[in-house]
Amino acid sequence: MANTILIGAQWGDEGKGKVIDVLTEKMDWVVRTQGGNNAGHTVYVGSQKYVLHLIPSGILRSGKTCVIGNGVVIEPLQLVEEIKGLKDLGIETLGNLFISETAHLVMPYHRELDELRELNKGKNKLGTTKRGIGPAYGDKAARTGLRVIDLVHPEQFEKKFRARMKENNQILKGLGGHSLPVKKLHEAYRAAGDVLKPFVTNTVVKIHEAMRQKREILYEGAQGSFLDLDHGTYPFVTSSNTTSGGACTGSGVPPNRIDRVFGVMKAYTTRVGEGPLPTESTELSKLLHGLGREYGATTARKRRCGWFDAVATRHASMVNGIGEMAVTNLDGLDSLERVRVCTGYRYRSETFDYVPNDLEVLSNCEAVYTDFPGWQRPTHDCKTWKELPLRARQYLKAIAELSGTKLRLISVGPERNQTIAV
Ligand code: GDP
Ligand code: IMO
Ligand code: MG
């Protein structure tokens, strides 16, 4: 198993960080391939909590090489902060982290634009993380973006930066915002460029070298399948391809080198931000928020919660080619008398067993449920499949079967040792 892609099979925050950390024990390299600091991947090492936004979660294990690939959009100041934050916690990144020279930059005007566009949309807002992700990928597609390779060449950067600032300051004013200070920001970003320079390289060549040396490589997905720009609930999506294909374009690894796709899903469903969520449940939201759970790792917003949506996970298996899956947060359901699984969406006289593209349908459909008796026992200390309550095992078997993939890992708590291999 040389090349493994790991993706979120729902709407993000599936517990990818925790699962990546567990899988990384057997990996040599971990590569981020898309998204930016809209991601928040939580990992607990003992009682120490880490939330990673741009640097692959693999950095927390020593001796692993981490890459921020060409498909990622990088906010340079944030990345410098993250590197410093890790250093303060005793984790050295220099020599273990490589940054693609062709990754695009998130600039201050992207953040401002994201914020202003959301504000101007009023009640039709998308609920973005306001990290400038959409505008940054927009510039990439429009061929007006700045890249890491520009940032580390001071003269080139200054020229391009000034030109981009000039245009964007006009746009910001046109949208009712303020123009940004060019000189001050140029200095700040140039300084970040100096810090990042020793990490910057041609990561495509590096990854292919690692493949020739038969290294085990994990491609760390950010966000989730239904936030994918093409396959998600557009326009309530992020601006990158979060499905498995994005890992290839975002790293320069061809599809025929991929050995497996690992899907991560929660034992229920969550979504943060606007957009349809067919299995949304007030009962479950109240329960999980009451336990202090399901608050966003990046924006601290309350995540909306719903029952496990097997229509969505089966669709995700189809689009991503998920062969194996991890179910996280099983313990979140421990206290319930009955646990529900959505097996179809009903809209007027039609029933869907896939996720329809029509948002009108998706927003107004009725979820068709199969109910399972709850196990009503804590699972967080279970170490093996057999130790899990019978009813929990029956539930897990059912959701794996309905999702059309093999169950490989179960997570019953945030820590490394709260993981069961199947
Ligand atoms: P990611 O973005 O997919 O990496 O997920 P997040 O880190 O944003 O959110 C997942 C949350 O669930 C984090 O707070 C994790 O620490 C936590 N978590 C992951 N797996 C489990 C689990 O099995 N049980 C519990 N209680 N928490 C978990
Ligand atoms: P991880 O990697 C959950 C959501 C936002 C919003 C939409 C668009 O931690 O799973 P954006 O800022 O990307 O333009 O926002 O996407 N979103 C996420 N939701 N987890 C994430 O990342 C997310 N990244 C973006 O809430 O609905
Ligand atoms: Mg997250």
End position of a domain, from candidates 145, 167, 198: 198
Q: Is the pTM of this model over 0.95?
A: yes
Residues 207 and 265 in one domain: yes
What is the whole-number distance in angstroms between the Cα of residue 11 and the centre of ligand 3? 10
Residues 86 and 110 in one domain: no
CA of 128 to the centre of ligand 2 (A): 7
Task: Confirm whether 357 is domain-assigned.
Answer: yes
186 with 237, same domain: the answer is: no
Residues 6+ apart with CB under 8 A from 233: 226, 227, 275, 276, 355, 359, 362
- Do 123 and 248 share a structural domain? no
pLDDT score of 298 = 86
Structural contact between residues 136 and 110, judged by C-beta atoms closer than 8 angstroms: yes
Compute the distance between CA of residue 67 and CA of residue 133 in angstroms, rounded to an integer: 19
The dihedral through the CA atoms of 212, 18, 47, 69 has a sign that is positive
Looking at 141, 163, 198, the residue that finishes a domain is 198
pLDDT at 297: 86
Whether 150 is covered by a domain: the verdict is: yes
- The SS3 call for residue 141 is helix
Q: Tell me if residue 208 is catalytic.
A: no
Identify the residue whose C-alpha is closest to ligand 1 atom 16: 414
Residue 98 covered by a domain = no
Question: Across the strands, what pairs with 217?
Answer: 3, 29
Of 198, 221, 237, which closes a domain? 198
Q: Is 309 inside a domain boundary?
A: yes
For residue 60, pLDDT over 90 is answered with yes
Distance, CA of 229 to CA of 71 (rounded, Å):
13
Distance 14 CA to ligand 1 centre (A): 7
pLDDT in tens, 282-307: 999 999 999 999 998 888 899 999 99
Distances in Å between the Cα of 270 and the Cα atoms of 90, 203, 351, 360 are 33, 33, 23, 20
Q: Residues 21, 28, 41, 110: which is the catalytic one? A: 41
Same domain, 86 and 118: no
Q: How far, CA to CA in Å, does 158 sit from each of 106, 154, 168, 196, 374?
A: 16, 6, 15, 16, 61
Give mean pLDDT, residues 239-254: 98
Domain of residue 167, residue span: 104-198
Q: Is the CB of 328 under 6 A from ligand 1?
A: yes
Q: Which two tokens stand for residue 189?
A: 């970003």
Nearest ligand, CA 32:
2
Tell me the average pLDDT across 349-353.
96
Distance (Å) from CA 209 to ligand 3 centroid = 31
CATH number of the domain encompassing residue 87: 3.90.170.10
Tokens found for residue 220: 């760390």
Mark whether 252 and 400 lie in a shared domain: yes
Rounded mean pLDDT, 21-27: 97
- Average pLDDT across the chain, whole number: 97
- C-alpha of residue 298 to centroid of ligand 3, in Å: 7
Residue 99 lies in a domain: no
pLDDT at 299: 87
The pLDDT of residue 8 is 98
Q: Which of 13, 114, 150, 334 is catalytic?
A: 13
Shared-domain flag, residues 189 and 209: no
Q: What's the number of domains the chain is made of?
A: 2
171 and 214 co-located in one domain? no
When pLDDT is averaged across residues 159-175 and rounded to a whole number, the result is 98
Q: Per-residue pLDDT tens for 70-112? A: 999 999 999 999 999 999 999 999 999 999 999 999 999 999 9
Task: Give the CA distances from residue 87 to residues 17, 39, 138, 250, in Å, rounded to whole numbers and listed in that order.
Answer: 19, 20, 33, 27
Handedness of CA 266, 286, 379, 61 (dihedral sign): positive
Q: Catalytic site residue 289? A: no
Same domain, 316 and 231: yes
β 324-328/260-266 pair status = parallel
Please compute the mean of the pLDDT values over residues 148-163 and round it to a whole number: 97
Which residues sit with Cβ closer than 5 angstroms to ligand 3, an ion?
Answer: 13, 40, 297
413 pocket-lining for ligand 1 (C-beta < 6 Å): yes
Rounded CA-CA distance 179/135 in Å is 16
Please tell me the distance from the alpha carbon of residue 147 to that of residue 144, in angstroms, as a whole number.
Answer: 10
In a domain, 115, yes or no: yes
Same domain, 40 and 131: no
Residues 312 and 391 in one domain: yes
- Flag whether pLDDT at 6 surpasses 90: yes
Using the atom order of ligand 1, give the atom closest to the CA of residue 264.
3
State whether 384 and 413 are in the same domain: yes
CATH number at residue 158: 1.10.300.10
Per-residue pLDDT reduced to its tens digit, 214-242 = 999 999 999 999 999 999 999 999 999 99
CB 42 less than 6 A from any atom of ligand 1: yes
Residue 9 counted as domain residue: yes
Answer positive or negative: Cα dihedral of 355, 358, 360, 361: negative
- Contact 16 CB / ligand 1 (< 6 Å): yes
Q: Is residue 283 part of a domain?
A: yes
